[in-house]
Chains A and B, each alone.
Chain A
Amino acid sequence: MRHPPDPQEPVDEPLEALLAAVARADRGAYARLYARTSAKLFGVVLRIVKDRGMAEEVLQEVFLGIWRGASSYAAEKARPMTWMITIARNRAIDAVRVRREVLLDPGEDGEDPFAAIPDPFDAAASFADRDALTRCLDRLEETQRHCILLAYCEGWSREELAARTGKNVNTIKTWLHRGLAALRGCLSS
């Protein structure tokens, strides 16, 4: 799936190099970085904040954060996409936490805790059976897997997970801790 090389837009220009150029305030590199990453980051943000207008605001903040923070990006510490996704998730979660708190009155009586939850694992499973993370997630108990996926992909807090599963926050915390520990063990085996 390669396109012919274009002198204006080098194919396969490493994201590390683009970030290094952005750290030197290179606007051209910034635009190329945006072209390469904005759809992925917008998808991540939109999944968490839901509202499109708000997601656009957050994405602006994300890219302003990338512009300001590029000089502190350390390639030996994180891959570029991981670094940018972290910024995107942090800004998106910050944007929704205040708003969502008011939605969180539990006590909708005893419905099936997970019935109303879309299963993001379907999407996760489709991307690559060979992927180690997918395989390890698949080995977790379902409740642990759900909590990790909903927290990561949807930005849910422990309180949200608790409110929507009818469990208390300590149970959620235990599930998260056990799930994370199992995930780490599986990934390092």
Chain B
Amino acid sequence: MSAGTDMYEGDDDDALAGEYALGTLDGGERAAFEARLAREPTLAAAVAAWQERLAPLADAVAPVAPPPDLLARIEARLDETPAATASTASPADVVSLDEVRRLRRALGRWRVAAGSLGALAAALVALAILFPGAFLPPPPEGERYVAVVDRGGGLPALIVQVDVAQGLVRVRAPAAEAPPDRALELWLVAADDDPRSLGLVRDAADIRLEPAVARATPGATLAVSVEPPGGSPTGAPTGPVVYTGVLIPQ
């Protein structure tokens, strides 16, 4: 099914799966790979096989007893975490469409349990505040997309709304962290294409969306990489990808 470069074909898929399991995929590769993982069971099986092959290496790491009170600290946080009912099977722990639907259903419950907000609840609240329309009947599909971009748990780092009709990308960055002297760059990663830069991440900034990029939006993944100030000098991600998220129709 590959219309991409031959880097993604044949035996090299297994090398990619191995590198994904190792954690060494870089730049847009990881995001592109995760976009494929969601649709290609054979690729997911290859990753699982590598995880099993490499797992004995963890035996080389000496166990270290965590502090005695850590379980109590975790258990205290369970009370603010929805019980294990989430359909969080997506490879990168990204917030999936199913999860957003589940979050919408759960909204009432969290409003009642208003004490302290768990991470998912916080993500939902952020969505609700920024996109009140998210809880109304959706506009016709194919016009607006939203992604909660995170790094697998915790607060969403970015909330990105792509409005294809208006040609705008709206970015909200409640918790994105850039290292000193580095910039965060936002990329749109369609499965069979090279990552396309959407621009640098700035909180509360709108980015103009070029028509060619807009056409690649459906089904794409967003990724954020660490780049030199001013952005990638090459037009492709050069630093590690620190956040990813899937664009879903809003």
**Stretch from A3-11, A106-114, A144-152 that touches the partner:** A144-152
Pair A22/B84 contact, Cβ less than 8 Å: yes
Candidate in B66, B83, B181 with the most chain A CB atoms within 10 angstroms: B66
Is the CB of B129 closer than 8 A to any CB of chain A?
no
Candidate in A123, A158, A176 with the most chain B CB atoms within 10 angstroms: A158
Pair A90/B73 contact, Cβ less than 8 Å: no
CB-based closest 8 A-B pairs? A39-B63, A124-B60, A180-B18, A72-B89, A25-B83, A102-B179, A177-B15, A82-B55
Given the complex, which residues of A lie within 8 Å of B55, measured CB to CB?
A: 79, 81-82, 85
Pair B26/A169 contact, Cβ less than 8 Å: yes
From known contacts A42-B63, A56-B66, infer whether A64 and B74 are also in contact, taking CB-CB under 8 Å: yes
Pair B179/A159 contact, Cβ less than 8 Å: no
Given the complex, which residues of A lie within 8 Å of B50, measured CB to CB?
A: 180
CB within 8 Å of B: which A164-189 residues: 169, 173, 176-177, 180-181, 183-184, 187
Partner of A158 from B24, B45, B57, B179 at Cβ < 8 Å: B24
**Stretch from B107-115, B136-144, B151-159, B192-200 that touches the partner:** B151-159
Q: Could you write out 17 A-B pairs with CB less than 8 Å apart?
A: A38-B66, A38-B70, A59-B66, A65-B93, A69-B89, A78-B51, A90-B93, A94-B152, A97-B240, A98-B179, A101-B226, A124-B59, A127-B60, A133-B53, A157-B240, A177-B18, A180-B15
Partner of A79 from B52, B65, B84, B151 at Cβ < 8 Å: B52
Pair A46/B77 contact, Cβ less than 8 Å: no
From known contacts A123-B62, A153-B57, infer whether A101 and B153 are also in contact, taking CB-CB under 8 Å: no
CB within 8 Å of A: which B142-198 residues: 151-154, 177-182
Pair B62/A34 contact, Cβ less than 8 Å: no
Q: How large is the interface on A (under 10, 10 to 19, 20 to 34, 35 or more residues)?
A: 35 or more
CB within 8 Å of A: which B46-98 residues: 48, 50-67, 70-71, 73-75, 77-78, 81-89, 93
Pair A90/B179 contact, Cβ less than 8 Å: no
Pair B84/A90 contact, Cβ less than 8 Å: no
A79 to B52, CA, bound (A): 8
Q: Give the distance to chain A from B238, nearest Cβ to Cβ, in Å.
A: 9
Q: Give the distance to chain A from B20, nearest Cβ to Cβ, in Å.
A: 10
Q: Give the distance to chain A from B119, nearest Cβ to Cβ, in Å.
A: 8
Pair A39/B151 contact, Cβ less than 8 Å: no
Is the CB of A86 closer than 8 A to any CB of chain B?
yes
From known contacts A38-B71, A64-B81, A99-B179, infer whether A90 and B152 are also in contact, taking CB-CB under 8 Å: yes
